[in-house]
Structure 1
């Protein structure tokens, strides 16, 4: 049965006559009579005894109408709740984030977002940009470094320059080179820079999985590496030798994008998070 069939039974019970029910529902009396017959056929019982004065419920009709009232009341309450909360920001927000960004920008962003929208449940997955891109269908939003994601909307958040960072007052020639996990294009850029700068083969001595580990090693006075400005701005660079990384006089840069399906932006929680990103990275 459809909702309006249940609504008809509740109205008939309230109005007591076919005519008054028809007037209440703004339909014809013959239409009400025909729909009642169809409903009674569906249940296989007589719901009302028709008298000249009014409709009288049968014992089976009592049970069916009580059931109809519960359905009508539940749906009306649900509609009212949806109407009240239609502008409320809630629900789940699934975000895939490149590792560096997960450590460096997400804590502050999530703190601000959840203060504004405490009813949103955040599901955050952190991994390499390539892993996030491979699993992009699992997220409402993906925040990655490097290249844009094909077939999605891509907003540029910021672009980093890169700097060679090494302990001050130490010979760069003798410092162990630290390499962090990155895509082949990026590693090739580093290789070009180091081989031209030091006139010897690119040969890292320390391999780490995260660029943040490189920072911690440098803070302990271990090795040298190339860091993006998103990392260097968290360090007291007066304690280090720094040198901008350029390849053929062109600065080495790395862009950060938020990528999403444009239809996802229609979800209030997604739209609000994108707005926060706009505020933070104008």
Structure 2
């Protein structure tokens, strides 16, 4: 049954006649009579006994109308609650974020956001940018490194320069080279830089799956690698040898984007978190 069928039963019970119910609902009396017959056929019982004076509920009708009253009341309360909270920042927010950003920028962002909007339930998924892009339909917002996502809005948050970082006062040629997992274009840029800088084949001795692990190895005095400024900004570089990375005299840059479907901005929690990102990084 439709909601307006339940509403019709409640109105008939209150007004007691087909005519008064029709006037209340701004429809014709024959239409009310026909709809009542359809409802009774649905339940398989007579709901009202029609008399010349008024409608009288049957015993089955009393139960059905009580059920109808509960549905009408519940929906009315729900509509009122939705209207009151129409612009409230609440509900679920799903974010897919590249691993590096999940470690470095999301903790502070979420601390600020949840302090201001405690009624939002955040679901955060951290992974490689390629994984986030592959599963982008699962998120309200995707924060990725490298390339934009096709068919979505892509806002540039920031762009990193890159630096060769190694322990200070050591012979760089003797330091083991650390390579972290990244897309082929990025690895090729590092390869070109190292081969030009050291005039020998690119030959990493350490392989790690996360760029953040490179930082931890460097802090322990192990190896050398290339790091983006989003990482080097978290380090005391006075303790390290650093060089800006260029390939063919062009600085190596890496962009970070927040990507989303425009329709997601109709959700207050999405729009508000996006505004926080923009305020922090644009």
Q: For the superposition of Structure 1 and Structure 2, which TM-score range results when normalised by the shorter chain?
A: over 0.9
CA distance in 1, matches of 2:41, 2:129: 61
Name the structure 2 match of 1:122: 122
Q: Normalising to structure 1: TM-score of the pair?
A: 0.93
Q: Which runs of 5+ in 1 are unaligned?
A: none
Runs of 5+ unmatched residues, structure 2: none
User: Hey, what's the Cα distance between the residues in 1 that align with 2:176 and 2:104?
Assistant: 25
Q: RMSD value over aligned CA atoms?
A: 1.7
Counterpart of 1:143?
143
Equivalent position of 1:208 in the other structure: 208
Range 83-92 or range 96-105, more displaced: 83-92
Matched, 1:56 2:56: yes
Shift of 1:101: 0.6
Equivalent residue number for residue 65 of structure 1: 65
Q: 2:138 & 2:265 partners in 1: Cα distance?
A: 15
**Cα distance 1:221–1:45, how it changes in 2: closer, same or farther (>3 A)?**
closer
User: 2-side partners of 1:229 and 1:46: how far apart?
Assistant: 76
Q: What's the offset of the Cα at 1:84?
A: 1.9
Look up the SS of the partner of 2:27 in the other structure: coil
Counterparts of 1:164 and 1:242 in 2: how far apart (Å)?
5
Higher mean displacement: 27-36 or 10-19? 27-36
1:232-280 Cα distance to aligned partner (Å, 9 max, x none): 1111111111110011211001001111222223222222221111111
Matched with 2:24 is 24
Alpha carbons of structure 1 residues 46 and 178: separation in structure 2 relative to 1, 3 Å: closer
Q: 1:34 to 1:187 in 2, by over 3 A?
A: closer
Where does 1:244-263 land on structure 2 (aligned, <5 Å)?
244-263=244-263
Give the structure 2 partner of residue 182 of structure 1.
182
**1:68-112 alpha-carbon deviations (Å, 9 max, x no partner):** 212211221222222222222222222111111111111111111
Task: Give the stretch that moved more between structures: 152-161 or 217-226.
Answer: 217-226
Is 1:217 the equivalent of 2:217? yes
User: How big is the shift at 1:162?
Assistant: 0.3
Does the alignment pair 1:230 with 2:230?
A: yes
Aligned to 1:46: 46
The answer for the alignment partner of 1:157 in structure 2 is 157
> How far is 1:155 from its partner?
0.9
Aligned equivalents of 2:21 and 2:233: distance in 1?
73
- 1:104 maps to 104
**1: distance between equivalents of 2:181 and 2:34?**
73
Alpha-carbon distance in structure 1 between the residues aligned to 2:134 and 2:33: 60
SS in 2 for 1:263: helix
- Taking the aligned partners of 1:90 and 1:263, their CA distance within structure 2 comes to 17
Q: TM-score, normalised by structure 2?
A: 0.93
Q: Does 1:85 align with 2:92?
A: no
Structure 2 Cα separation of the partners of residues 222 and 44 of structure 1: 80
For the pair 1:272 / 2:268, whether they are aligned, the reply is: no
2-structure distance, mates of 1:27, 1:136: 48
SS of the residue 1:109 aligns to: helix
Change beyond 3 A, Cα 1:40–1:185: closer
